[in-house]
Each structure stands twice: as C-alpha cells, then as structure tokens.
Amino acid sequence: MTGTDWRKKIDADTLALIRLALVEDHAWQDVSTQWTVPPEKNATAILISREKGIFCGGALFAAAFQVFDPDLEVEVYADDGGVINPGFIAARIQGKAAGILPAERVALNLLGRLSGIASLAASFMEEIRGTSATICDTRKTVPLWRSWEKYAVRTGGGSNHRENLEEMVLLKDNHIAIAGGPVPALKAVKAHNQAQIPVEIEVENLEQLAQVLEEGVERILLDNMSLEEMREAVRLTDKRAQLEASGGIRLDTVRKIAETGVDFISVGALTHSVRAFDFTLEMDLNGV
C-alpha cells in the first residue's frame, strides 16, 4: 500500500481524529525536532516488527505521517490481516526528517494498538479452532476509536458484538433489577420493539435461564457461569436461543468454554487491556 492509498480506507471522521491526535501531541510545536533537525535534511524511516503477529492499521499509520506532512512518501509493505515476523520491514517513509519525527509516536501508537488487538483476537480464535463457538468483542473500547478497534478484531478473525447502544437491546443486571426481573424486562422491551431490534438478556443462573427461555428471546448471555452450568445451559436451551459466555475469559480457559457448546464467547480483554504490538521506527539517513 502506498501512502496515498489510505485515503480510500479512511473516512472524514477518522481523518479528523488523526489530526486531533497530532494536535494533542503538539506535533507542529515539536521543539526537540525543530531545535536539532535542519528543515532541509532528508531521511528514510523504516518500520520494523519486533515480534510475530497480525498486522493491522496500515492506513492509519500512513495517514498520520501524511496528515502532518503531505510531501512525505509512505509505503506500507504488509496487508491488514497478514502475518508478520520479527525483523520484517513493514513500511518505509521518505522525505524531510523534520516531517517524519513529529508524527512518529501517533503513527506507532495507532498501528501498535490495532495490531495488538488483531494478534490477540487471532490467538483466541486459534485456541477454539475446531469448535462451533465464535470469539466476539465488547464495547470496552477507547472512546471514539471503537470502529477501528472492532475492525482490528475482525482482522484477527473474531466477530463484533453490537457497535453501539442503538444497534441491539442488551439487558444486563442493572436493567433487569430496575425492571423487576428478567421476564418484566423482556416484556417491557417487546412492548416497544416495533423495529424488531435484536434482543439479548443476561442471566446469572439456570433458574433465570429457564424463565427467559419460556418468555422467548434471541440470545442469552451466560454471566460468569461455571463450565458445568454452561453445559447444562446448552442442554436446556436446545437451540431455542443463541448462547453467549461472558466474564473473565482468558486464553488458558477459552478452549474448555468453547467445548461446552455455547455459540459465542465475548472477550472484553481484546480491547480493554490489550498489549500494543511491538514495532520500532529506525532512521536511515543514508537511505534517501
């Protein structure tokens, strides 16, 4: 992907966020660069992977540099969703050194986070390979960057839960408590849901599961249930609703959860506590 290709993948809202990120970093007032780097000095920067994983966010990486300095030439050599290894040269930026350095941190932050999410999603998908379950994300995302973080989950092979509060009805413990129980909560939703928005309800035990199955609902969230309870939930449900396991899912536990027969496993850690993928940007003053 060349630097100009990112314009086909990034909408105006994302472009505005990238510009705000550069403004937040005071990129146009980078005193370290302005006081040490001659404005006429050319350079080449090489993006190098320090680990194995899934590449994601090449368009954001390129955009961060070219929003700051449109004259920079950016080439990205990895496709989103591709596997990269340690030492792989993933991108090259050429132009004024004083244009490259101020945008470096924003570009690396965006690329590192999205590649980290994609890589973790791929690891979870690998753990449940051969089962009928699907890994999905949650809304525990960085505000304003949700669409891109959910894109990264898909890039890693996972699926997206609801994008926002309007897209799906999800009745959790507080909704249920205020409504007076799972059945009153479902009845209240049915009274208003002329648009037939998908509905999911959280249950904490098998008794609540039986109640919501009797009332009828498309999807049921099994909150922090044991493996034995999940297996029994699958048996009792008998495909009358889709079942989603949730609550503290980890890589070392997800396989056994998938083997209970649930349809979805939601993993908040995909976005709320992911480790950034390790990239480095090295300057090559002789590579221009």
Catalytic site includes residue 140? yes
Provide the terminal-to-terminal Cα distance of the chain, rounded to the nearest Å.
19
What number of CA atoms fall less than 13 Å from residue 43's CA on the CB side? 18
CA dist list (Å): 182 to 44, 45, 83, 199, 231: 60, 57, 44, 12, 21
User: Has residue 92 got a pLDDT over 60?
Assistant: yes
Confidence class of residue 62 from pLDDT cuts 50, 70 and 90? Answer: very high
Render pLDDT for 200-252 as a digit per residue (tens, 0 to 9): 999 999 999 999 999 999 999 999 999 999 999 999 999 999 999 999 899 99
What number of CA atoms fall less than 13 Å from residue 32's CA on the CB side? 8
Catalytic site includes residue 223? yes
Q: How far apart are CA 3 and CA 270, in angstroms?
A: 28
Mean pLDDT, range 124-140, rounded to an integer: 97
Catalytic site includes residue 52? no
Q: Where are the beta strands (DSSP E) in the chain?
A: 42-49, 53-54, 73-76, 83-84, 89-96, 134-136, 169-171, 199-203, 219-223, 242-246, 264-266, 279-284
Residue 115 Cα to chain centre, angstroms: 9
Which residue out of 19, 92, 96, 105 is catalytically annotated? 105
Render pLDDT for 64-86 as a digit per residue (tens, 0 to 9): 999 999 999 999 999 999 999 99
CA dist list (Å): 5 to 1, 8, 53, 241: 6, 6, 23, 43
pTM of the complete model: 0.95
Q: How far apart are CA 80 and CA 149, in angstroms?
A: 13
At 38, phi and psi to the nearest 5? -60, 135
CA quadruple 66, 70, 72, 74: dihedral positive or negative?
Answer: positive
Task: Please tell me the predicted confidence (pLDDT) of residue 286.
Answer: 63
CA dist list (Å): 75 to 6, 41, 79, 99: 10, 20, 11, 15
Task: Please tell me the predicted confidence (pLDDT) of residue 8.
Answer: 78
Task: Please tell me the predicted confidence (pLDDT) of residue 288.
Answer: 52
SS3 215: helix
Catalytic site includes residue 41? no
Render pLDDT for 14-50 as a digit per residue (tens, 0 to 9): 999 999 999 999 999 999 999 999 999 999 999 999 9
Confidence class of residue 5 from pLDDT cuts 50, 70 and 90? Answer: confident
User: Has residue 63 got a pLDDT over 60?
Assistant: yes
Which residue out of 30, 80, 137, 202 is catalytically annotated? 202
Catalytic site includes residue 204? no
User: Has residue 3 got a pLDDT over 70?
Assistant: no
For the chain, domains (ranges, CATH) are 3-118+275-284 (3.90.1170.20), 122-272 (3.20.20.70)
H or E segment and range at residue 190: helix 182-192
Average pLDDT taken over every residue of the chain:
96
**Closest by CA position to 75, among listed 60, 86, 62, 88:** 62
Which residue out of 146, 154, 172, 255 is catalytically annotated? 172
Rounded to 10 deg, the angle between the 104-127 and 12-24 helix axes is 120
Which residue out of 9, 92, 96, 140 is catalytically annotated? 140
Render pLDDT for 158-187 as a digit per residue (tens, 0 to 9): 999 999 999 999 999 999 999 999 999 999
Task: Please tell me the predicted confidence (pLDDT) of residue 9.
Answer: 85
